[in-house]
Structure 1
Amino acid sequence: MKKKLSLKRVLCALLAIVLVAGLAVTALAAAIPAKAPAQSGVTVYQNAKAAVDASNLADGYVSVKYTGGKDVRIKVRITKSGTTDYYDYNLNNKGTAETFPLTGGDGEYTIGVYENTTGTKYASAYSCTVTLALTSEFSPYLYPNQYVNFSDSSKVVAKAAELIKAAGAKTDLEKVTAVYHYVVNNISYDYDLAANVASGYLPDVDKVLESGKGICFDYAAVMAAMLRSQNIPCKLVVGFAGKVYHAWINVYIEGVGWVDQLIYFDGKTWSLMDPTFVSSGKNDPAVLKYVGDGTNYSQKYAY
């Protein structure tokens, strides 16, 4: 006598077929290796106060350092020509290079370095224009930068490799899932930090991993660092969840494209990839429903 399959088993089987058929093993990781950003000095624009190393421009980033010798606040502004879009960053005044992504696609960018004069006023220290022609559209989201800062020796890189191996993950989706569940289950929201976070705060991904707590910016940076170290293109996105300033990640999956609705699957769509809300909400259905509604989110910046 044949056994009657339960509805649950049928749905699980159908979902498995969809995943296998639509998200097969990807060759993207092998095709686009994540590399450490380099300042080779081959192409440098500079004056006495600042230097912009554009030697690896085609990989979607520049390295900038301030050499003016003043003990003042330094800013970097990156503007894409023909748009009103610009990104403002803090830059150390110790002469150490920092890496900044160019995330607006091919075209001309102006990189300006500014010295604080008084209060909120700044004066131009140096400015140059570069023309970007990317070797790959994914490059800006595979390399470390000031916001997603990691290296081969970072603990998050080792942890990502450990998670992937333990899960036996082969496809990019399986790798994303392993990293996602680790982050939401092992990092708790730091309400004290959120209430007192200073302007210019930058995530320290290894510190967050070790302490097991962080704010939304930290969740997103840790996941982005882990996935980029596995050669999976990942955007750290900053914008608004409703009226709240927030950070989350978007991931590229071969055969699907850039996915901002991924982990929670209701039979029709994937939920927005937002580890902070899911973690702090403890998988509450109301939280999952909110996260799954992409209209609740509006992107402002991508790093």
Structure 2
Amino acid sequence: MRNLLLAITMLIAFLIPAPAAFAATAEDWLNLDHVDRGTIGVRYDVRDDVKTKVMVTKGPDKYTYLLTPGKWEETFPLQMGNGDYTVTLLEQVSGSKYKVVREAAVTLDLDNDANVYLNPVQNVNWSEASQAAAIAKELTKMAATDMEKVQAIYEYVTGTIRYDETLAANVPADYIPDIDRTVALEKDICYGYAALFAAMLRSVDIPAKLVMGTTEYVDVYHAWNEVYYDGAWTTIDTTVDAGWKENGKTFEMTKDATRYAAAKYY
């Protein structure tokens, strides 16, 4: 009888599904220390042979990121406004099929949405120790206004960084800019231009968005910036302007926002 009861108990345990992996508390993989700044940190041991993604969802809108193997933690923005978010960690099963391995709810409540765009995140990654941040501080140490800071950093980026045609022709699908690499090589594609400009501005406390989408100025998917100063967001395109500057054309730093169609903000 005892053996029968043991067998029944084991069968019941087998039939009742174990709690899903994503039902675990968020603390073991999701760093919420900086939600008050508009970001989350994801900690996960990514295997080299398994693509692992983070999906950040708010209502019908979502952003999906590929995690980097070997990184202890990567930071991502909550850029879709105040409210309730779902953060999901997914591992590739095969092809386009992924399984959920973690999931958690996060609530954002910021007084100023622009503060999201002051942070280092995966694709606008900077620190006080970065060479780009040091250059930004040096360029702006005599600036009296935010406008003067923006102009100084803009002149540096458009006057120093050149478009990398070789990288553009062979850019990996998972390419993420490295701002200090861009500074060292003095070249990059539009994604790198926009990441560098945003990072340098953020390092001197000016909110700056990295924007992706399309524009009348180029015929491929593009990256540019929106920068917050004088109480408004201003569209600036350092990639286009660097090319125009090199060719001796006349242009203005501020661009007509109606000539750009944004798809993603970072």
With the length of structure 1 as denominator, give the TM-score of the two structures: 0.74
Select the residue among 249, 255, 275 that pairs with 2:225. 249
Structure 1 match to 2:197: 223
Select the residue among 45, 65, 80 that pairs with 2:26. 45
* Cα distance change on mapping 1:136 and 1:69 into 2, 3 Å: same
Deviations 1:201-221 (A, max 9, x none): 101000100110000011111
| Cα distance in 2 for residues equivalent to 1:274 and 1:70 | 35
Residue 67 of structure 1 and its aligned partner are, at CA, apart by 3.8
| Cα distance in 2 for residues equivalent to 1:110 and 1:257 | 29
Residue 55 of structure 1 and its aligned partner are, at CA, apart by 2.4
Select the residue among 42, 59, 70 that pairs with 2:37. 59
Contact 1:112 / 1:126 at 8 angstroms: preserved in 2? yes
SS in 2 for 1:206: helix
Structure 2 match to 1:129: 105
Select the residue among 77, 80, 84 that pairs with 1:101. 77
Amino acid in the other structure paired with 1:195: A
SS in 1 for 2:136: helix
Structural RMSD (CA)? 2.2
Matches within 5 A, 1:183-202: 183-202=157-176
Identity of aligned residues (%): 41
Matches within 5 A, 1:126-165: 126-165=102-141
- Count of matched residue pairs: 240
Amino acid in the other structure paired with 2:220: V
Q: Which has the larger radius of gyration?
A: 2
Structure 2 match to 1:266: none
Stretches of structure 1 that go unaligned for 5 or more consecutive residues are 1-43, 261-272
Residue 139 of structure 1 and its aligned partner are, at CA, apart by 1.9
Select the residue among 239, 254, 258 that pairs with 2:233. 258
* Cα distance change on mapping 1:68 and 1:143 into 2, 3 Å: closer
Structure 2 match to 1:172: 146
| Cα distance in 2 for residues equivalent to 1:257 and 1:95 | 35
| Cα distance in 2 for residues equivalent to 1:191 and 1:67 | 34
Amino acid in the other structure paired with 1:54: L
Amino acid in the other structure paired with 1:45: A
Deviations 1:192-245 (A, max 9, x none): 101110011101000100110000011111111111010011111111113521
Residue 135 of structure 1 and its aligned partner are, at CA, apart by 4.2
Amino acid in the other structure paired with 1:207: R
With the length of structure 2 as denominator, give the TM-score of the two structures: 0.84
Stretches of structure 2 that go unaligned for 5 or more consecutive residues are 1-24
Bigger Cα displacement from structure 2, 237-246 vs 208-217: 237-246
* Cα distance change on mapping 1:203 and 1:95 into 2, 3 Å: closer
Bigger Cα displacement from structure 2, 276-285 vs 228-237: 276-285
| Cα distance in 1 for residues equivalent to 2:135 and 2:72 | 28
